[in-house]
Amino acid sequence: MIIRQQIYDELKTLKVPADKTFGKALLPVIVRSIYQAGAWSELEVVFDCENQISGASVAVQYAQSIFEGMKAYKVNQDIPQIFRPLDHAKRFNDSAKRMCIPALPEELFLQAVNLISKLYENHIPSQTGCALYLRPSAYATDYSLAITPSEKYCFSVHVAPTLPFANEMISVLIERQNKRSALGGTGNVKTAGNYAAGFGALRRAQQVGCATNLWLDPVYNKFIEEFSLMNFFIYYEGILHTPKLQSSFLPGVVRRSIISLTKDMGIKVSEQQIDIDKLIKIIQSGEQIEAFSTGTAAAVTPIKSFKEVDGTEYIISQEIGRISKLLKTQLNDIHEAKAEDRFNWMQNIY
């Protein structure tokens, strides 16, 4: 592959944007592949500003667009490593299938995330808690208002270095008003429209001091599903509980990893429906509970309380629980090469 000298020059002199908000410090060079005439092209390295897409494209008009979120780490390691890239490649293609986007060869996906991590190797932060966030996406680029799947697509990988998340507990709004998805809908894949559908609810959550929304099931409006960007866990009576997967919410890669780590510690994991009102009664009874969320962005985040939209608050715990802390540390130690990677989750970028 030929990479232009101008791109190497940019990478050499690059200054990371100062905005510390998650995902805002986007870097200017991307890796991409174009789909046309029935095939994905070889990868190329271009400036993001060269990757034009029209407001009248099928992606913008009809949201035929998918993405992944994953991280490359360079803490305590000479060669940067990506966490579970094949799992992300597979979920990317699950999303592609659901949104009628041509499957991307897994090999091409892996080459792309490795290549972009290599190009930015000197910009992967090496302080604990930091990483390079990778955002592979594929979107319909036909210049057309026809309501049919596009014939042309772009696959690209953007990156943004991330800083450590504050080690704070969060409050979450029980989202009883809106639904994020339906059974048989698109909740279990990462497609653009799912996220826009939650923005209004996020505003309401922030107004009552909550970091995110706790989404309930679309049929009975009472079984916990997930957060807007994370999966849900509670630990009580010696068992780790998490909602059983169904078509309305995302099978998180970190969720799967936490289940493996927990079972490996000899702790039982239950994947069943969790009724929010029964859980509130358990909290009110004073029983000792830990709750936390999991996701690529912040790994494991302990939950302090659930809130209702009128401000009523159910305090789960004021302190980070023992199991949450243990799981957070174990996962972090694998990311940062402080513990043996016994599940073979970390992949060298070359």
Ligand X SMILES: Cc1ncc(COP(=O)(O)O)c(C=O)c1O
**Which residues sit at the interface with ligand X, rule CB under 6 A?**
69, 190, 226, 229-231, 250, 252-255, 294-296
| Least separation in angstroms between CB 293 and ligand X | 8
CA of residue 181 relative to chain centroid, distance: 17
Report the residue count for the chain.
Answer: 350
- The per-residue b/e assignment along 285-321, b for 16 or more CB within 10 angstroms, e otherwise, is eeeebbbbbbbbbbbbbbbbbbbebeeeebebbeebb
| Least separation in angstroms between CB 48 and ligand X | 22
| Least separation in angstroms between CB 198 and ligand X | 8
| Least separation in angstroms between CB 41 and ligand X | 27
Shorter beta-carbon distance to ligand X: residue 114 or 231? 231
Instruction: Tell me if 137 sits within 8 A of 121, measured CB to CB.
Output: no
Report how many helices (DSSP H) and strands (DSSP E) the chain contains, helices first. 9, 18
Instruction: Tell me if 112 sits within 8 A of 92, measured CB to CB.
Output: no
Instruction: Specify the residue for token string 């990156």.
Output: 159
Shorter beta-carbon distance to ligand X: residue 29 or 70? 70
With the CA atoms of 80, 86, 87 and 89 taken in that order, what torsion angle do they form, in degrees rounded to the nearest 10? 110
Q: 239-242 and 268-271: which strand pairing?
A: parallel
Shorter beta-carbon distance to ligand X: residue 119 or 298? 298
Shorter beta-carbon distance to ligand X: residue 32 or 71? 71
Shorter beta-carbon distance to ligand X: residue 74 or 135? 135
| Least separation in angstroms between CB 69 and ligand X | 5
Shorter beta-carbon distance to ligand X: residue 154 or 254? 254
Name the residue with the smallest CB distance to ligand X. Answer: 252
Residue 125 CA to residue 123 CA, distance in Å, equals 6
Instruction: Specify the residue for token string 């309401």.
Output: 204
Name the 3-class secondary structure at 337. Answer: coil
| Least separation in angstroms between CB 3 and ligand X | 30
Instruction: Tell me if 331 sits within 8 A of 254, measured CB to CB.
Output: yes
Shorter beta-carbon distance to ligand X: residue 190 or 304? 190
| Least separation in angstroms between CB 77 and ligand X | 21
| Least separation in angstroms between CB 274 and ligand X | 16
Shorter beta-carbon distance to ligand X: residue 250 or 349? 250
* DSSP element (H, E) containing 290: strand 290-295
The torsion angles phi and psi of 95, rounded to 5 degrees, stand at: -65, -40
